[in-house]
Each structure stands twice: as C-alpha cells, then as structure tokens.
Structure 1
Amino acid sequence: MINARQEIEGRLSVLRGLQVSTVHHAADMLTVQFGLLREVSNFKGAVKHVGQWALHVQCDWQIERNGKVLATQGVLAASVDEAQRRAAESISDLLVGHERTIVESILANESGDVQLILSEGTRMIVTSGRTPEYEDWRLFEPGSDARHFVIEGGKIDPYSLP
C-alpha cells in the first residue's frame, strides 16, 4: 500500500526550484506552467509555449501572499470569457509578473490537498474536492507521452502509478 502524502510530495518535488513560467485558464480550470518555456505543436499543428511541467487545477485553490488571500478559484468561475481572461491575467501578474516566483517546497496530505510554498511569502493552496470520479488536479510534462499524475476525488488515480 502506498503512502499517498509521500507519493504526492514525491511527484510534485520536480517543481522544487523551478519558476512559475505562465498562468492561463481553460474555462474555470487554472493552468500553471513551471520551468523554462519551450515550443511544442498541438494536435492541430499550432505552436504554443509550454513549461517543463504543467499543473492543471479543477478543484478549490487560492493564492496567498504573507497570509493575505490574493485570488481564489471563484475568479475563474465567472461564466463570461472576458472576465475569466482578465482574472487569469491578474493571477499571472501575481505569479509571473516582474519578479521570479520560485517553488521552494511542497506540502501534501493523504487527501490530495497540496501547498506549493513559493518565493516572496507566496503560497498556492489546492484543496481537493473529494467528489468521486471528478478530477481535482493533474501534473504532467507537456509534449511528453509519460503518464499524468492525477488526483481524482481526493485520491491518487491508480492509472497514475507505475
């Protein structure tokens, strides 16, 4: 039997020392890229810039700096595309902006909750939804065929494991 906390922290440890490269959204899903950006082509042949690692978050999350909440998943829950775009740009300004935001450490628990401790007193807190068969978040290498590491319903998706 695996220790979920250790497995999650171990998988996310690849982010330690990497900077937040980009922040975007797909509907109400937060997408964060980490590490140096590189060009890849999507299935339609369009070129896009991706980081070494990507974190896609579909459950509750918030970004804090020095104990003050700066953004939550609610800002992307708006049904208007323009409002979501502005919210994602605002989050990008917080994490990418003019200063390099680096992942300093990772904390997790057995239920898939994660804290990314970032530089400058910033934290990204991800709280798994614990709704069975609903994806909470995933970590993957964009452009790679490697398995994605997925938390679904507050548990590690068994397909994520070797």
Structure 2
Amino acid sequence: MNERGYLERQLSALVGLDLSGVGYAADMLTLQFGPIREAPSRRGTIRHIGLWALHVQCDWRLEQGGRVLASYADFAISEDSIRETALRMREIVSSRSTAVESVAVDDRAGVMLFLSHGFRLVVAPNGAEDDEDWRFFAPGVHGLHLVIEGGRIVPESFD
C-alpha cells in the first residue's frame, strides 16, 4: 500500500473545514475541525468537539509567511507556556475563519495543512518506534482512529 497516498486521502476530509478548536492535554496539541458540537464525555461532562480531530504528540509548528507563530517547543517549556500557546492559537483561529485549503503528506507521515490567510500547520514525526506521533479521528463516533507511530501507520488503524 502507498501509505502517503492513503494518508492524503484520509486527511483530505479536512479540506474546506475550519480549524475550529485548539486545546491540549499535557504536551499534546488537540485540534478540532468543522462545526463544533456538544457531546457527553465518558465522565458525564459536556465537551465541545468538531467533525474531525487531530491530536499531535510530535514536533509541530504553526507558520504564516515563513514565520513560526507557535510550536511544540513552546509546549516543552512549562504548563504556563502550554496554556499561553494554546490561547494564542485559539485567538488566531477565532479571529477569522481559518479553513483547510489543502493537505500534503511526506514519506515519513509528516503532514502539512495549508490553511486560509497564509497559515500552515506542519507536523513532523520524530521516527521513534512505539511513540505515537499523531492520530486523526472523528470524535464522538465509535470508529477507527488513524494512528501514526514512529512515522508509520499503526496496523490497528485498519481493523
């Protein structure tokens, strides 16, 4: 199978959708795409989710015009830095509609999401075996998660 082509086809579901939510869990960046809706969590609380989610646990950066606006390195500093970075990214996406215009994937399962207004999200797996790089899924749906570990698709992603 051509993993690169497969990943591009899966991630193409994002094209035309707004980057509608930015969050974090520890040092993991969590992104929501598409209209936000309410859904119950396993703990009985209400969470706000999009049509699609991308959770990133490897190197990433948000760029505009060749300038890095936020990155995984910002998450590595402190809990305060993580909060500030997530808030800065939320302000960027909430100030105007920021839609995914196109998607590109490299041979190491690195992802580039080209967004409106010249923004670009770059996700760069570190290649470490047994370390999850990123996952893509439809939150609130009991479906498969497309999981990348060590720059490769985890076989269970196809079950």
Q: TM-score range by the shorter chain?
A: over 0.9
* Pairing partner for 2:97 from 92, 97, 100: 100
2:80 maps to a residue whose letter is: E
Q: Deviations over 1:97-131 (max 9, x none)?
A: 21100000000012110100000111000001100
Q: Give the Cα–Cα distance (whole angstroms) in 2 for the partners of residues 5 and 160 of structure 1.
A: 15
Mapping of residues 12-27 of structure 1, within 5 Å: 12-27=11-26
Q: Report the residue type matching 1:21 in the other structure.
A: S
- Any stretches of 5+ residues in structure 1 without a counterpart? none
SS of 1:14's equivalent?
Answer: helix
| Structure 2 counterpart of 1:58 | 57
Question: Residue 161 of structure 1 aligns with which residue?
Answer: 158
Paired position in structure 1 for 2:70? 71
Instruction: Judge conservation of contact 1:18–1:34 (CA < 8 Å) in 2.
Output: yes
Per the normalisation by structure 1, the TM-score is 0.95
Once the two structures are superposed, residues 123-153 of structure 1 have per-residue CA deviations (whole angstroms, 9 ceiling, x without a partner) of 0000011000100000011111101001110
Within 5 Å, which residues of 2 pair with 1:121-140? 121-140=118-137
User: Which secondary structure state, in structure 2, belongs to the residue aligned with residue 120 of structure 1?
Assistant: helix
User: How far off is 1:78 after superposition?
Assistant: 2.4
What is the identity percentage for the equivalent residue pairs of Structure 1 and Structure 2?
44
Q: Is the contact between residue 20 and residue 94 of structure 2 (CA under 8 Å) also seen in structure 1?
A: no
Cα distance in 2 for partners of 1:161, 1:66 equals 37
Structure 1 counterpart of 2:100, one-letter code: V
Matched, 1:148 2:142: no
Q: State whether residues 4 and 109 of structure 1, in contact with CA within 8 Å, keep that contact through their aligned partners in structure 2.
A: no
CA shift digits 1:30-72 (9 cap, x unpaired): 0000000111111111001100000000000011101111111
- Indicate conservation of the 8 Å contact 1:3/1:110, yes or no: no
Q: Is 1:91 aligned to 2:93, yes or no? A: no
- Residue in 1 that maps onto 2:112: 115
Q: Which amino acid aligns with 1:92?
A: R
> In the aligned structure 1, how far is the partner of 2:10 from the partner of 2:120?
18
Structure 2, unmatched stretches of 5+, are: none
Alpha-carbon distance in structure 1 between the residues aligned to 2:126 and 2:10: 20
CA distance in 1, matches of 2:20, 2:27: 19
Contact 1:107–1:114, Cα closer than 8 Å, also in 2: yes
CA contact (8 A) 1:62 1:72 kept: yes
- Structure 1 stretches of 4+ moved >6 Å: none
TM-score scaled by length of structure 2: 0.97
